[in-house]
Amino acid sequence: MNLKRSGVLLASLVTLLLTGCNAAINRFAFYPERTEKLASFQLPPNVNDVFLVTDDSIKIHSYFIPDNSSRKLLIYFHGNAGNISGRLDDLMTISRFGISVLGVSYRGYGKSDGRPSERGIYADGEAALKYATEDLGFALGNIILFGHSLGSTVAINTARNRNIAGLILVSPLASGADQARQSGFGSVAFVAGDAFDNIGKIEDVRSPILIIHGTNDRVIPVEMGRRLYRKAHGRKQLVMIEGGGHNDLPTRFATEYWGPVSAYVAAMPPGI
Phi and psi (nearest 5°) for 219? Answer: -95, -55
Active-site pick, 70, 105, 149, 207: 149
Helix (H, G, I), strand (E, B) or coil at 147: strand
Could you confirm whether 62 is annotated as catalytic? no
CA distance 39 to 50: 13
Could you confirm whether 149 is annotated as catalytic? yes
CA distance 19 to 205: 34
SS (H, E, C) 152-175: HHHHHHHHCCCCCCEEEEECCCCC
Among residues 196, 200, 208, 263, the alpha carbon closest in space to that of 233 is found at 208
Could you confirm whether 61 is annotated as catalytic? no
| Apex 213 CA angle, 87 and 31, nearest 5 | 45
CA distance 256 to 249: 8
Active site residues: 149, 217, 246
